[in-house]
Every structure is written in C-alpha cells, then in structure tokens.
C-alpha cells in the first residue's frame, strides 16, 4: 500500500471500539457520544481478516486502540488472531490501563508485545476532574501489572494542557524515571468531539522542552528516529543521579507527515489514510457482502493511494475530521 508520495503503509492502527470507560474533558462530553451500534462493529474474525490482508500488503506493526480497547472482551482473541499470522506483525496496544491488572498476563500470552498507557496527571483530584472518573489508582496498578507481565518498556502517553497539567511536566518525568517507564509528551491536536481545541491553548513541543531543560540536561537519544514520531531525549537530573528517556511528539508544530507510514481501521470497518482525513473507505460492506480478498485489497490500495501530503492543520481551509479521535482510534 503506497501513496503518490512514495510512502509505504507499514503501521496499521486498529480501533476495536469507540466506547470508553473514561470521559476525558479534552476528548468527549460527560454524557459520552452516540456509540456505534454493536452490529456495525467488526467482529474479531472480520478485524483479523483485514489485519491479515494488511500484513500480506506489507504491514509489519499492528496497534490496537479505541475508544478503550480493554472494554472489548474478545481483545485477547483478536490479538491472538493477529499474532498467529505469518509473517507475524509486532503487536502493541494503546489503553488507559483500567483493567490491565486482570488482563496484562492474558494479553501478553495472546501475543501482545508492547503497550502504551495514557496518563495525563499523577494527582488524584486532577485525574478525577480531567477524566470525570476516580480511577487513577486503577491506572497506576495497571501500569505495574503491564511491567510485571513483561511488556517492556511500558510507554506512557501524556497530553500536556495549559492550566490543566502543564505544571506536571517535570514531576511526571521524575515519576517515569523512578518507575522504569518511558514517557512521551504529545501535542494536543484538533480531534476532540466538542471542537474546543485552540492553537493558543496548545502546549507546544518547544515549551515542553524548555520545561524539561529547567530540571534536566537533555541529549538527543542515540536511536534513529525513522518513522517514529517521537523525538527522543535522554534526560539526566541536574545532580546526575537519575536518567531516563523522554519522547516529545510535536504532531502540530513538528509534523512528521513526510515520514508517515500509518493507516487506520475504525471499529466499524472504515479505512482511513490519515487521522485528519475527510474521507474513509468502507471495508465493512464488501467484507459482509462476500468480497474476495483481492477485491478488499484493491480498496485498501486505493485508499492509501489517495493519501495527502500532510495533515494540513496549518492550512486556512483546514477542517477537523468528521469523527472525533475516540471514534477513529488514537
């Protein structure tokens, strides 16, 4: 699956549900959203079929996400189906961590190799007001369970927001170093259901790095960045006692579209060539109407061929996607 700019899709993001057990203020309203009806969600077999076709087309990494992927009881079966493919893709999960205490081992046994847990604050009251649920302890326990299950390194995704948690940039990094996890800061993008995102409010990658530089010495981490959107830094406390790696993902101010190798499948079977795409390719209808593998692959290739050069957030004509992040798959 290659686009007009020569980018090859090797990283498939699969949303398994649009539902979530948190209500993060920057993601969705308190009452939730109009969830996709259950009969429109792809079954485990349908999801694995699309993953199989994508792997045959050159995908080497599959990340399961949502919504909250752990609300789906058959996630282990989906992962096992993907892990059993030949050649086996690398399989990762993006989750809020709630429920990992019970499932980290079974997910690992099913074939999960890497995990990202989203966590924006270490303060219980703040967590409760930000996510509208008092579940910080569950998330922290989930992170420990992921470590204990051998999902190493656990990566933590944090969206810094002005006046909300941007005063925790340094303390979150100190906690990550102490906890043996890798923290990545991600610039907030115009992907919320409420369309409340504002460029002025967004905490920019430069600001995050300036805060880090006040408490740590920073050196670019040795690894090659490739298509990984995170700029990785080795951070060392000013007294030299603690050191770790921090990622900064400047999705808005330092876009990485030119190296983008991603393609996304929504939980209702729509293929997207970009988070910000205004169009989708319906795979669910042909999947359910008896289409052959070859016919589905043609649609997948056509979808990728139409991928634009960039997300276009800086263009005057930019419009946010019709679906919010939670329904696309973050």
β-strands 281-282, 270-272: how paired? Answer: antiparallel
We find the least distance from the C-beta atom of residue 72 to ligand SAM, in angstroms, to be: 11
Query: For ligand SAM, which is the closer residue by CB, 94 or 277?
Result: 94
Q: Which residues in the 82-111 window bind ligand SAM by CB under 6 A? A: 94-96
Looking only at residues 204 through 233 of this chain, which bind ligand SAM when binding is defined by CB under 6 A?
Answer: none
Per rule CB under 6 A, is residue 320 in the interface with ligand SAM?
no
Choice from 57, 168, 192, 268 touching ligand SAM (CB under 6 A): 192
Q: Least distance (Å) from ligand SAM to the CB of residue 272?
A: 14
| Cβ proximity to ligand SAM, 10 vs 65, nearer residue | 65
Measure the CA–CA gap between 263 and 261, rounded to whole angstroms: 7
Would strands 90-95 and 270-272 be described as parallel, antiparallel, or unpaired?
Answer: unpaired
Q: Which residue lies nearest ligand SAM, judged by its C-beta?
A: 330
DSSP string, 70-125: GG-TTHHHHHHHHHTSSSPPEEEEEE--TTHHHHHHHHHHHT--EEEEE---S-HH
Structural tokens at position 104: 């980290």
Q: Nearest 5°: phi and psi at 187?
A: -60, 140
List the one residue from 151, 191, 193, 327 that touches ligand SAM (CB under 6 A): 191
Stretch that binds ligand SAM, among 6-14, 255-263, 286-294, 322-330 (CB under 6 A): 322-330
Residue 65 near ligand SAM by CB under 6 A: yes
94 vs 211 by CB, closer to ligand SAM: 94
Q: Does 281 bind ligand SAM (CB under 6 A)?
A: no
| Residues of this chain, 121-160, that bind ligand SAM according to CB under 6 A | 157, 159
Peptide linkage before 153 cis (omega within 30 of 0): yes
- In this structure, how many other beta carbons lie within 10 angstroms of the beta carbon of residue 180? 12
The C-alpha atoms of residue 270 and residue 90 are separated, in whole angstroms, by: 22
What is the CA angle 245-251-253, rounded to 5? 105
Positions in the binding site for ligand SAM (CB under 6 A): 20, 26-27, 65-66, 68, 94-96, 118, 157, 159, 186, 188-189, 191-192, 325-326, 330
């Amino acid at each position: 699956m290659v686009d007009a700019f020569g980018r090859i899709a090797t990283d498939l993001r699969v949303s398994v549900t649009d539902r979530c057990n948190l209500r993060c203020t920057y993601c969705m309203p308190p009452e939730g959203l109009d969830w996709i009806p259950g009969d429109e969600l792809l079954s485990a077999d349908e999801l694995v079929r699309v993953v199989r076709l994508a792997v045959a087309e050159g995908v080497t990494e599959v990340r399961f996400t949502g919504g909250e992927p752990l609300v789906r009881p058959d996630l282990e079966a989906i992962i096992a189906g993907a892990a059993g493919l030949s050649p086996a893709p690398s399989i990762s999960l993006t989750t809020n961590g709630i429920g990992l205490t019970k499932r980290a081992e079974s997910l690992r046994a099913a074939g999960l190799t890497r995990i990202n847990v989203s966590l924006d604050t270490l303060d219980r009251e703040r967590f409760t007001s930000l996510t509208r649920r008092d579940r910080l302890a569950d998330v922290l326990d989930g992170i420990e369970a992921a470590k204990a299950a051998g999902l190493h390194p656990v990566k933590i995704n944090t969206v810094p927001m002005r006046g909300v948690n941007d005063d925790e940039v340094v303390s979150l990094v100190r906690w990550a170093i102490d906890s043996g996890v890798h923290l990545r800061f991600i610039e907030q993008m115009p992907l919320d259901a409420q369309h409340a995102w504002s460029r002025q409010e967004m905490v920019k990658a430069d600001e995050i790095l300036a805060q880090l530089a006040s408490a740590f010495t920073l050196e670019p981490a040795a690894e090659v960045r490739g298509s990984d959107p995170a700029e990785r830094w080795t951070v060392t406390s000013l007294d030299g006692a603690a050191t770790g790696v921090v990622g900064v993902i400047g999705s808005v101010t330092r876009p990485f579209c030119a190296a983008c190798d991603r393609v996304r499948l929504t939980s209702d079977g729509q293929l997207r060539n970009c988070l910000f795409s205004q169009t989708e390719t319906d795979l669910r209808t042909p999947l359910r109407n008896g289409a052959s593998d070859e016919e589905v692959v043609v649609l997948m290739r056509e979808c990728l061929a139409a991928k634009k050069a960039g997300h276009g957030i800086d263009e005057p004509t930019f419009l946010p996607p019709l679906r919010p992040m939670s329904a696309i798959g973050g």
